[in-house]
Chains A and B, each alone.
Chain A
């Protein structure tokens, strides 16, 4: 089930405007996600080994990577759907 921006409108003009809006929103979303993800990774790299039992720096990096990889997948899927 998908919806379309500017539903109910027809013609090449609104279609192009919708496409442009989609590209701009995708670009803005990507910029925000990258702007957040880079400091997250850099912050973690600079942290000392966690004191939590059973945790290592490597496991913490893996846990941190999962949502970031998921975000990349979401961007790709949204771009394909746009």
Chain B
């Protein structure tokens, strides 16, 4: 081996390693654009709705395609959201590390990725599942981008109330994927996620109030303060628990779901009461309520599955 080849070998290996690290970093940025942690709970509601609609275990391929299509649709919406919101993301500590704001990805690149995800989801779900599920997933993306991100987010304190409809569509997608139909029971699952969003998101907004204030986003605690937001968390959790009982009242679920909804709902309301009674600003109950809301929704949907499958 000539001496120059010996010298080049380590340099070549280093270059290859550098390219590998860059590719890995780019891949992680694409994943970050989709906000996988946010999507995971959406997919839980989709999957559980599939089990409820099937009254058992849906086919493995159907689950796989529905989960993949749901991820691409929600991920595409999140990528486009980061393109639109890059100006305010730069003003909030929580979001300064996002790929566009940090300069690791151009805005147009992220927008193209988001649109590609949405188109792939729509066509793929339409061809592999059915066009109702595909249209619903696309509707979720369009509502999130146009209704929530572009219109309501910067103009009203009810941004996450009305915009929450986009996050409530995944159970409809799951149900439609199995049944190619949307009966009242499916819409009641939509309603549960829809009414869960305000107390969940306002608890988070209490934690991130300073960030939203600096970015000029009119979240409820920024516009009306913490005390009013705490009251709204409690009152919306009352409405939420009432709505969770409607599927039982209509005869769609039995005792397992009903008792689960009552017990889980009582704990949610207790969190709301504790939040209202909390005297100091920035106390622990906002974070506790937010954490409980995540667990609550997952447990409630699992209870639906156990009720229908058992």
List residues of chain A with CB under 8 Å of any chain B CB.
Answer: 1-7, 18, 22-23, 25-26, 28-33, 35-37, 39-40, 43, 47, 50-55, 59-60, 63-64, 66-67, 70-71, 74-75, 77-79, 81-82
Query: What separation, in Å, do the CA atoms of A29 and B188 have in the docked complex?
Result: 13
Q: Are A37 and B239 in contact (CB under 8 A)?
A: yes
Q: Are A50 and B238 in contact (CB under 8 A)?
A: no
Q: Are B228 and A43 in contact (CB under 8 A)?
A: yes
The interface residues of chain A, by DSSP majority, are classed as: helix
Query: What separation, in Å, do the CA atoms of A40 and B238 have in the docked complex?
Result: 10
Contact with A along B153-166 (1 / 0, CB 8 A): 01111100110000
Query: What separation, in Å, do the CA atoms of A51 and B236 have in the docked complex?
Result: 22
Looking at B29-37, B94-102, B251-259, the stretch in contact with chain A turns out to be B251-259
Query: What separation, in Å, do the CA atoms of A64 and B223 have in the docked complex?
Result: 15
Query: What separation, in Å, do the CA atoms of A47 and B194 have in the docked complex?
Result: 24
Looking at B62-70, B76-84, B178-186, the stretch in contact with chain A turns out to be B178-186
Looking at B40-48, B104-112, B240-248, the stretch in contact with chain A turns out to be B240-248
Q: Are A51 and B161 in contact (CB under 8 A)?
A: no
* Across-interface contacts of B254 in A (CB, < 8 A): 3, 5-7
A50's partner among B218, B239, B245, B308 (CB-CB below 8 A) is B218
Q: Are B185 and A1 in contact (CB under 8 A)?
A: yes
Query: What separation, in Å, do the CA atoms of A2 and B22 have in the docked complex?
Result: 52
List residues of chain B with CB under 8 Å of any chain A CB.
Answer: 53, 55, 152, 154-158, 161-162, 179, 181, 183-185, 187-188, 191, 194-195, 218, 223-224, 228, 231-232, 235-243, 245-255, 258, 308
Q: Are B238 and A35 in contact (CB under 8 A)?
A: yes
Q: Are A71 and B239 in contact (CB under 8 A)?
A: yes
Contact A2:B252 (CB < 8 A) given known A29-B245, A32-B242: yes
Residue of B nearest to A29 (CB): B245
Shortest Cβ gap from B100 to chain A (Å): 24
Q: Are B162 and A2 in contact (CB under 8 A)?
A: no
Residue of A nearest to B308 (CB): A3
Shortest Cβ gap from A8 to chain B (Å): 10
